[in-house]
Structure 1
Amino acid sequence: MATNFSASLTQASDEANEMYCEECERHGDGHVTAVAFCVDCVEYKCATCQKYHRRQFQNHKLQDSDHMPQDFYFEKCSAHPNQLIKFYCSDCIKEACKECKDNEHVNCSDINHLPTLASDIQKSEEFKGLRKYIDKLKEDIKYTNTLVKAKCEVIDKQEEQATEACKEYKDKLLAAYTLQHQNLIDNFDKKLNETVVKLEKERKDLIQELSEKEKKFEENIKKAETDIIEEVVSTNTNFKSLKLEHLNLVENLKALTVELKHAQNLGQNCKLLIKLKSAKQLCENLHKSIEQMYHVNIQRYKFKISDFQPAKQSSENRTAYFSFEKVSVERRIVFDFDIKSLSNDINSLLVLSEGTLIFSDCAKCSLVICTFVKSNRKYMNDIKFETKPWDITKVSDYEAAVTFPDERHIKLIKFSEDMKVLNTSEIPGHASCFGIAYSNNHLVVSYLFPSSVKILSLSGEIMKAFDKDDNGKDLFSCPYYLTVSPDNTMIYVSDSSTETVTCLNFNGKVYFIYKDDHLKSPNQLVVDEYGSVYVCGYKSNNIHHLSSDLTKVKILIDGRHGIAGHIVSGASLTQASDEANEMYCEECERHGDGHVTAVAFCVDLCGI
């Protein structure tokens, strides 16, 4: 019996009773018709294999094609798919291939060659008995079919009766259940109508009660509003009075100037003399008013709305709904440290707290801390670093952030009350970071290579980045310094290369750009508490005073006041604005001839 037959050959074997040489198939020589059968090896042989097998095994019994087994079984072994089933074990009552015979049935005593064993199967008593048994079963099946049919009729009738009974009972149950629910709904509707009548009366009473309380509440809140407005208005009454007096003086001077011009044109010298004397006195009064208006401090305050929850507190009996807290204005500090020991490469300075000034000494790679104590004692010490510090910003009274462009990171430095360094932590700068400002728990940082402005968290995460305008052009070229407005809504950036100051919001929208021929290489800039911007011109050696919308107010101080360099702080600006009370020629300034000290006042033109 050959192995490794294809499915088509196996199926064809039922019709073509031809066997192939198992020896040839085993050695890959294809399907060669068998002409002999070795009883000892239990294998079919072709003529060639028979010849060599007879020489090698002379004692083996070979049967020719007329006497060899002709009933072939072509099923494959389930355990060994490459083997045909050739044997049957009567002990195990199981068929087997050659491998199964040699391995699994080695201890079986009654295992035979399947075709040989099956040669006389049709004449055996076992086959005859099976035929008789099958005939008997046919009669039993016929009787059983009749019996099953009768039983199925009974079952169908029972199922039909049960279905009808269930439907009838189900309809009765549903009707009873629906009636029960309707009774519950009717009872509820009765109670509901009674409750609605009762609630309508309670609602009417409640509306009347709340209306009376609302009227009282409205009276109280209007009174509280009037009281707080009167208190707020009276806070700076003195300043308003001074302002009114100042405006009256200005109007009087304008009117008097017209009269002077009129008397001069008519040649009324007596009248001109009288008006001149009056104008002189008025000018002196106006000058004093200007000084007073400049130096007077207004009372600042924070308006508050009281924490009030109507659901938990009585509204109509409450009187305090609004309040405001007066904010004390910090006194101005004049630092007069001798800083000759410092290098000429001071990049930035910062008033960290009252009595404490910090310089970044770029040449010496250090921060210089100048401290002024109440005992009039002054201290100066420095903190050394490996690379150059650039700009500084205040995070709190005892904490500052410093940029280090060469290291591409920011250091957050915490100080003790006596200005000793407690600890230093690093924040990723992501690139060459220069200018820095603190705003609402974030850092606003300017960068070079490439130039941009970014908003970082205190952990260094980039929240926003601005480098292009709406037209896709670069916003900045050399943005060495920046600052933010007091209300933390605007960012002001000085650009040393384009000689501009740019104002943009925290979404990167550009609002204003300042450029002036008298501002060269703008560097550090600050914003005061009123929103005015002060920017220092590095090469023009001056400080420009700008409004919050970057409109030029005036050049505050310049080289004639001793300014030279590129740093400016809130303290230095305050001091400069207090001391620089020298008047300049308005004609020269109008024609672009710079600031020339005024030596006369023209009454007719009301100019200096």
Structure 2
Amino acid sequence: MAKDMSSRTNEEPLCPICIETLKVPRTLTCLHTFCQHCLSKYIQESDCSLVGKPSFNCPVCCRPTYPPSAESKQPKEWAGLFPQNTALLVLLGEEKAKVDFLCDPCSSEEQSIIATGFCVECREYLCESCINAHKKIKIAKGHRILTIDEISKSPDIIMNLNVSSSCTIHTDKEIEYFCKDHKTVCCVKCSIIDQRSCSELVDLKTNAKSALEEDPRDVFEILRRIEDFLLSHMQTSKSNIKRLETQTNEIVSTIKNAREQVNKLFDVIENYVEEKGRQLYKEESIKLNDLNQECQSQLTAVQGSRQLLDAILRLGNETHVFLTARQIQTQLTNYREQIVKKYTAIESKEITLTLHESLKTLMSLAADQLATVQTEIKVDTLCLDGIFRTPTLDSVIETKCPNSGSTPSYRGSAWLPYGSILLCDYTNSKCCLYSPEHTHLTDYILKDTWDACFVGGDEVAVTMTQAKKIQFLTCTAPITPTRSFTTRYYCDGVAALSEDKLVISGYNDSSNQNYYWSIVNTQGKEEYYHEIDQKGETVTYLAVNESKTRFYMSCCDINTVYCFGLNGQLHFVYTNEQLKGPTGIGVDRDNYVYVTGFASNNIHQLLPDGNLIQIITIGIPNKPLTLTFDKSGTRFLLTSESDMSHKCHIYVLK
């Protein structure tokens, strides 16, 4: 894999904080690397008890970071506890200069002593004095001490220094497996205790490549595109600064020419305009330079991630590649989110001068009334192509009802873990089961069927909206009912929080007819009820994020998407004039939200916090209805209203 990857250039690795060449690089658990001095200063200025124990947020991705063995150390010593990033400086800077590494024990005592060796077992750089002391400790006598030159010439050792292989739960055990059910790595102890009932455990020592959810080369390419995007953003900002400077000079020249005709009065005006213009230029250029600084910091972090991945791909084994790529995929989500929040638009500001139309009352008017200097904002939206994926057609399940009856109207769907699909045909009052190969297997008659969700095993929960009922079905051929319970009000949407807990939504039948959602267990006991102060008698759909901490609710007739926490906290409300009739809603593996616009014929792709990423129109069928992601979160099922040929199209997109 590494041989197929072409490296860009051996750019000088930079620190995202000081934007200078890394000095004594220390790498956090999220794989972001900083100068030890910069990191130490940042930690000391941070709130170091974010969750009740020693921690701080990464300066780049803001993930909580827990320094190793920090309980007995002061925050100013934490930076020295993180591993030195050998891979970036030795592999990417191997032809530029000899790299000096500091002794880790001395660094923790705030002493900068150059290391002469490295203990493989303790994974620490040691100076000559510490090496001698190390050899005198009984338990460490057999440890292998390598020289710095030996370290630099051994790719396997370099990779081991920068890829954490210890289990986060059982720190004395090495990571050996990847659980596809829970999408997490684990040790042999985890596999026996916590993952014993999981169906897919991949042995990383023998088959790490099969556990990768995405080709690292694709991740590398996206990182490169993000890097190019940020560079383009910075270049545009720099051009804006130059244009602002030119416009400011032009304004000053204009007012000086006018001054020749209005003498003393224009002395006042000139002073005012020049001062105001310079002030605005300074303020706006500072803002743009600050934005560029922030953008440069983000760019440096992206470059660092790409450089590290490139190094791992060239010199690491499959386990190293998997562990590094998996961590960088988490960074990738953060990079994308930061781009949507901060860099999708550039304020192109203009500094203009307005002269008063009449000169009759010049002497009675103040200078700032005769001439005004201000910025005018023009927003240029930058293209996000290649940074976020746009869904493409994978396959078509069917185009018409396989059996006799009216044209089907698939209002709900559930994607089972092994690839089978259950579709809820509201018009013909039945549930249709399809094989992973999209072959029709069987039907089950069920009146008022609406939405469905996978619960566990072979079981699916189906809402019967008018009957105010949840019916559970075992989705094998034939489909068999298992149990059911009634709901308090009309129920449309349903999503599973766990194997024994659901969230349902709809509207009540009281006098106000407000939308509602509630959390119920699979026996029908209501654990939480929440009413939305919006009237509605039409469709609602639900989707839950991967961590099961929040869910998203689409309300068709008010063109609104809500995001709630399980305790009723409203995280955001999304509306857009280009989203009409929101119905189907789903969440992909990156926790990005997709919602169909039934009346606007599009799909809106959102960040987890409700910010719009893009509106997808190409390849979307007319009047898209339901949207359901598969277990991997990489493909989704999309149904639509019947067309002029009375056929109901069902698409699988990826």
Report the structure, 1 or 2, having the larger strand content: 2
Report the structure, 1 or 2, having the larger helix content: 1
For this structure pair, what is the TM-score category when the shorter chain's length is used for normalisation? 0.3 to 0.5
* Structure label with greater radius of gyration: 1
TM-score by length of 2: 0.39
Higher relative contact order (CA 8 A, sep 6+): 2
TM-score by length of 1: 0.41
